[in-house]
Structure 1
């Protein structure tokens, strides 16, 4: 059985396993195995495998913003409007086939905006040049995710799933867990508060799945098994993400209002309000400001 098949089987088993106290250890091990297989699948890309023509773009300016989304959601139009760069836009899918950089000049700062080819479902496994696209996204300071408002939250959920599967965590802080591998002494487990989502036995089982038998683990927050796996893996990136919803003229005003009130969300009309878009990008930690849970929208 290949890695893709193993990943698929574990995902199916996780989906059909009821989540309760009796299954928490089993689910914890399944999640650890899934994370290991996904890391193995992506190793060639991380080690400098095929980058693909046009994807190796030198990072420049004060910050890098990666513009991602499904095909034909308006990414190329946005790049051409926000920057002086012309990115081909058309009514058919996959107009953009390489990484096209542009520069936003705002308040004395130069922000590099990258128009990446449209992501499709299964991108994390390499479909539609997905690995190259995601590899570039990992180098960004901010993800600008464009969604078709007529699709509701479907596109947002699918894109988040693809990025999540390759270790990109959106609008989340790094888990407050101290973890250090030692040469001996077994597993030293401790916490500064009462844990409700994991216990010492589950932590040891997850560590043993990674062939780690000597380590120091200190929980400073009530973290989950998934967050512990992220810390053990050590290759996760935590990026702020701004969700930009296009084509809002095709939905009701009630739906526009609902979308605009979601955290980290922006709705845009056909005529881009450039100053507001610049302002939101500028203050969404791309230039070092702290992440928060404030709701963001354009009037």
Structure 2
């Protein structure tokens, strides 16, 4: 219990300290200490649970995890999206394990994962939170599912994910830290920073980093610097879906739209707006279509290869056959990623949507 008491004490001190330039370094040290204590709590929760989490084999072209409080309708939504029969009941913690389903849409196979509901304290292991968090960290997209009458759950869910080192809808800060044997902390920045050098050094000192070269390419805050130092944060996209709209009146629905203007309102039970959700999932996962063209033949325009945005020729080789990368000679590309029709490219070439691709291999 000592760790929880230490965390509470640090949180109280942070909340009581008014933020200004004079207190910035002190708050930075406190936040660094808080992050370190939370890391220790998570490690202890992991050791007590006997592992890092549920064992889920990823399948398909991408995986989506349904995150929400118990009884918010995750199992019903899984059934509506995939036809998988996940147990549904009107009481909490119906789902005690991960229930995977497979959704086919526009040629893509998307794995949908229904996990036990998250509750306050999940990041510390409460309610099998550690296991659920492990599944979320490995997903390509998170659906934060809210009950139309319990919108306040959103802040709790995001806080638990944040405490567990998961950053939704953000990217890693453009900061590089290279340790060195001596010479102190050297800070170089390409932009104007709100943080001063003393604050940066005090935060790094909390983690016993006293000799390092720090290159900062964007204006960061204290929390982002701590994330870079820890180096174990997971950055994943997320969408908000509000469920059970068939039970709500017009006033409640209007309040949902005002609070979450970008959220999709659905009824998993009545299958309202489920097709719209499928389209959003497909788009947010960043799928592109690649049409394969055997050498000297016409491309197969009926069955594209579905891959993620940013995929390279090397990724395609790995996807098609385990030996293709080793036997690779060159590739030809027609489409927006090519400078001209049939351009010869290498393994690092990045493909665009609707590109046509021929891969030339060495003979075995």
Q: TM-score surpassing 0.5?
A: yes
Residue 64 of structure 1 aligns to a residue in which SS? Answer: strand
Q: State the Cα deviation string for residues 26-78 of structure 1 (Å, max 9, x = none).
A: 1100110011111122235668962499x211111111111110011110000
Alignment check: 8 A CA contact 2:70 2:92 kept? yes
Residue 22 of structure 1 aligns to a residue in which SS? Answer: coil
Alpha-carbon distance change, 256 to 161 in structure 1, aligned in 2, over 3 angstroms: closer
Alignment check: 8 A CA contact 2:10 2:34 kept? yes
Residue 223 in structure 1 maps to residue 220 in structure 2: yes
Give the match for residue 3 of structure 1.
Answer: 3
Give the match for residue 12 of structure 2.
Answer: 12
Residue 26 of structure 1 aligns to a residue in which SS? Answer: helix
The CA distance in 1 between the partners of 2:244 and 2:68, in whole Å, is: 14
Q: CA deviation at 1:285?
A: 2.9
Give the match for residue 183 of structure 2.
Answer: 185
Residue 234 in structure 1 maps to residue 214 in structure 2: no
The CA distance in 1 between the partners of 2:14 and 2:41, in whole Å, is: 19
Residue 180 of structure 1 aligns to a residue in which SS? Answer: strand
Alpha-carbon distance change, 29 to 238 in structure 1, aligned in 2, over 3 angstroms: same
Residue 279 in structure 1 maps to residue 279 in structure 2: yes
Alignment check: 8 A CA contact 1:187 1:217 kept? yes
Alignment check: 8 A CA contact 1:65 1:286 kept? no
Alignment check: 8 A CA contact 2:67 2:142 kept? yes
Within 5 Å, give how 1:134-145 maps onto structure 2.
134-145=133-144
The CA distance in 1 between the partners of 2:277 and 2:215, in whole Å, is: 41
Q: TM-score, normalised by structure 1?
A: 0.89
Q: TM-score, normalised by structure 2?
A: 0.74
The CA distance in 1 between the partners of 2:228 and 2:48, in whole Å, is: 23
Q: State the Cα deviation string for residues 5-44 of structure 1 (Å, max 9, x = none).
A: 2112211221222222222111100110011111122235
Q: CA deviation at 1:81?
A: 0.9
Alignment check: 8 A CA contact 2:62 2:285 kept? no
Residue 95 of structure 1 aligns to a residue in which SS? Answer: coil
Alpha-carbon distance change, 266 to 51 in structure 1, aligned in 2, over 3 angstroms: farther
Please identify the structure whose Cα radius of gyration is greater.
2
Give the match for residue 81 of structure 2.
Answer: 82
Give the match for residue 244 of structure 1.
Answer: 241
Aligned with 1:155 (options 153, 156, 160): 153
The CA distance in 2 between the partners of 1:247 and 1:275, in whole Å, is: 16
Specify every segment of 5 or more residues in structure 2 that has no aligned partner in the other structure, as ranges: 288-307, 311-364
Q: CA deviation at 1:259?
A: 4.3
The CA distance in 2 between the partners of 1:85 and 1:94, in whole Å, is: 18
The CA distance in 1 between the partners of 2:48 and 2:180, in whole Å, is: 30
Give the match for residue 174 of structure 1.
Answer: 172
The CA distance in 2 between the partners of 1:246 and 1:274, in whole Å, is: 11
The CA distance in 2 between the partners of 1:10 and 1:286, in whole Å, is: 40
Alpha-carbon distance change, 52 to 93 in structure 1, aligned in 2, over 3 angstroms: farther
The CA distance in 1 between the partners of 2:226 and 2:217, in whole Å, is: 15
Higher relative contact order (CA 8 A, sep 6+): 1
Residue 30 of structure 1 aligns to a residue in which SS? Answer: helix
